[in-house]
Structure 1
Amino acid sequence: AYVAHPLDSFEEGSVTNMFTSIVGNVFGSKALRALRLEDLRIPPAYSKTFKGPPHGIQVERDKSNKYGRPLLGCTTKPKLGLSAKNYGRACYECLRGGLDLTKDDENVNSQPFMRWRDRFVFVAEAPNKAQGETGEIKGHYLNATAGDCEE
């Protein structure tokens, strides 16, 4: 089967929005037992709106001082339902346990039970605390897909 989406469904220049809309939520559906993405065609006009990442893996390695091995990370779970404080604690435990980085799931935005600003405060503590205890540089990637931190 072929599925086509109108380009107006996606934010210009947002690879995150496009992929999570097409792949993320659909493939995570428990109602679908067998699904495979075989081809993805992006119109050239839409491709031109992608500016690319501000930097690559070398900058991440330089910032973390980690070379010669994969950077180890995870998406914090459960992705929804935790308070900002408990979410930050989960990130800390992952980092203290040996991961290099944690990241927000694409569905973690600024929900009423965990606003972006509150999450930022508690998640910012996690790498700093784990780094102090392990002596290794740690990090967290926040999902910041809204126009600003108040959205």
Structure 2
Amino acid sequence: GVKDYKLTYYTPEYETKDTDILAAFRVTPQPGVPPEEAGAAVAAESSTGTWTTVWTDGLTSLDRYKGRCYGIEPVPGEESQFIAYVAYPLDLFEEGSVTNMFTSIVGNVFGFKALRALRLEDLRIPVAYVKTFDGPPHGIQVERDKLNK
């Protein structure tokens, strides 16, 4: 069956923060799955949805780490497709790791039951997170030289 994520992860009243990583996913829910539930499922599965059965409330605060689906819009001209807007707190991610960020956001969500199809359409990475990246290990000029730029 499909887990019920809407109560915890669908938060249309949430106001995004300058430090949130914001993602826009194109979702096609399975027949009978409301778009809000599909968006909430994406937020859950790409953040803390798999933690809740393992961790107890005494170990960590779900609210501090969870992704939140804060908006759903129909895709014009595409029946049964929606854009789900998801905000992720920076605390969810390892600093300076593109691999960790993408593994968290897209690595865990592309094969679960609530959706027929899913695509990451857009991603906003806040300045606070960008500043955690050191850049190329040998400097930008070395990289440009390798690429003949």
Into which bin does the TM-score normalised by the smaller protein fall? 0.3 to 0.5
Q: Which has the higher contact order (CA 8 A, sep 6+)?
A: 2
Normalised TM-score (structure 1): 0.34
Structure (1 or 2) with the greater helix fraction:
1
Structure (1 or 2) with the greater strand fraction:
2
